[in-house]
Amino acid sequence: MKIHTGEVYGKQTASRLVMYNVLKIKKSVVTLQNIDNPLSLFEITAQKLSSAGYVRVSQKPYIELTKGKRKSKRRQAAQKPTRCPYTLDFLESRADSERPGPILPDLFN
């Protein structure tokens, strides 16, 4: 399984789908950041990522445009987008600033 920085992975919990940004990859260790709670970071191996039930939601990064708490200049520079967050991707039919839609299995067909 090939994992790239900036992808969005999700894990289905009992009540909702929790989404994570891939921040960095070192050898086989992947660092994930919770989209809803940017202070929540954890590391997991690439093998455990797939066996623990994480599913790739989007290959395109999610850039949050809402201004939250003040961050240090160093952290702000690290989250600088590489392209316009309003760019619409015709393959995923969403702009970078739009939260990815959950991928739910088709259980009723």
Question: How confident is the model at residue 93, as a pLDDT?
Answer: 76
DSSP state of 80: -
The pLDDT of residue 31 = 93
In angstroms, the CA 44 to CA 49 distance is: 6
What 3-state DSSP class applies to 78? helix
As a whole number of angstroms, the distance between CA 14 and CA 23 comes to: 25
pLDDT given at position 12 = 86
Per-residue pLDDT of the chain (109 residues; tens, 9 = 90+): 688 888 889 898 888 888 999 988 898 899 999 988 888 899 999 889 889 989 888 887 777 766 655 556 665 555 555 666 666 676 677 777 777 877 666 555 5
* DSSP letter (8 states) at residue 12: E
Question: What is d(CA 54, CA 7) in angstroms, rounded to the nearest whole number?
Answer: 12
